[in-house]
Structure 1
């Protein structure tokens, strides 16, 4: 009988000094999936905050959050760039960002929940949704630039790869 506090029960892999490649892949899939879920929740919270008027206060909030880094000589490059970026976001685009973050976040959370629930269709849906995001992000990158879009695309491609591997492994058990 296994102890219910045993972490290996959560990850469906035996705890030992050596984790099998299959168990490591499954664990990596779960970690990236949870990360995507957290990102989706942050995006939903961002959509709500923008809808409630946070865009008007964003530059001031960022300056307050990074006041220590901005007071350094020279100021932190990341903090200075964040202040610059938030000052450049036009308030007129609040509706676009609200819809974008709400849709992006809801899709991420929905796919993550379906995958964690074990729905077979969710694997294919996750690949399609993420592939669409990759294409969109790469088009945006071509139009506007920005390293963050490339980073997000690379993460999405990695999650697609892990999802396909996980589906193949699971399909062996589905029969």
Structure 2
């Protein structure tokens, strides 16, 4: 695969991470300002028809159970978690799209920490969604590392060229 194609895949992955970060921010803001009663009412309206048809529906009954057990403390944790993750990821995505050199290692560190936390959570939940997110994060880390090496080489080459031009000829 040529470098141009890899760069395109890198940019698409960043746009996906950016979209995910925006969704996290919106979700965190919504959770911060919505009451737990509203969450239960929303879950009830989403599952009501299905539970009337099949009172033992796995997804609908579990959604209602989750909503009814959703405490204010849990709500505040998820609001903070989503908003903080979203803001950090969004800032890093913007910096990476602007080719800011510091953002490459910072992104690798932050994604590494997120993956470590996701693995910890995975040990408790076994969530398929978390597995997919972790694999995608690992893929993005490989792309960031690849781009970092290229961007750093290009910047070093440009600096060397500039120094050559500024050096007195003699």
Q: Work out whether the TM-score is over 0.5.
A: yes
- CA distance in 1 between counterparts of 2:130 and 2:68 reads 19
Q: Report the CA distance shift for 1:91/1:173 in structure 2 as closer, same or farther (over 3 A).
A: same
Contact 2:99–2:151 (Cα < 8 Å) also in 1: no
Are 1:36 and 2:17 counterparts? yes
1:83-98 to 2 correspondence within 5 Å?
A: 85-98=66-79
Q: Which protein, 1 or 2, shows the higher relative CO under an 8 Å CA cutoff with sep ≥ 6?
A: 2
Question: Structure 1 CA distance, aligned partners of 2:65 and 2:131?
Answer: 20
- Cα deviation, 1:77-111, whole Å, max 9, x if unaligned, reads 76666555444433331221121111111111010
The answer as to 2:69 corresponding to 1:57 is no
Q: Retained in 2: the 8 A contact 1:127–1:164?
A: yes
Alignment CA distance shift 1:49-1:172 (3 Å) = same
Whether 2:144 is the aligned partner of 1:173: answer no
Runs of at least 5 residues in structure 2 that lack an aligned partner in the other structure: 157-170
| Structure 1 unpaired stretches of 5+ | 1-19
Is contact 1:56–1:91 with CA below 8 Å preserved after alignment? no
Cα distance change, pair 172–141 in 1 and its aligned pair in 2 (3 A): same
Residue equivalent to 2:138: 157
TM-score w.r.t. the length of structure 2 is 0.77
Q: Distance in 1 between matches of 2:2 and 2:36?
A: 45
Q: Highest CA radius of gyration, 1 or 2?
A: 2
TM alignment of 1:71-90, pairs within 5 A: 82=63, 85-90=66-71
In structure 2, the CA distance between the partners of 1:167 and 1:44, relative to structure 1 (3 Å rule), is same
Q: Alignment length, in residue pairs?
A: 155
Residue aligning to 2:167: none
**Separation in 2, partners of 1:30, 1:80:** 40
Q: Which moved more, 1:141-150 or 1:38-47?
A: 141-150
SS at match of 1:58: helix
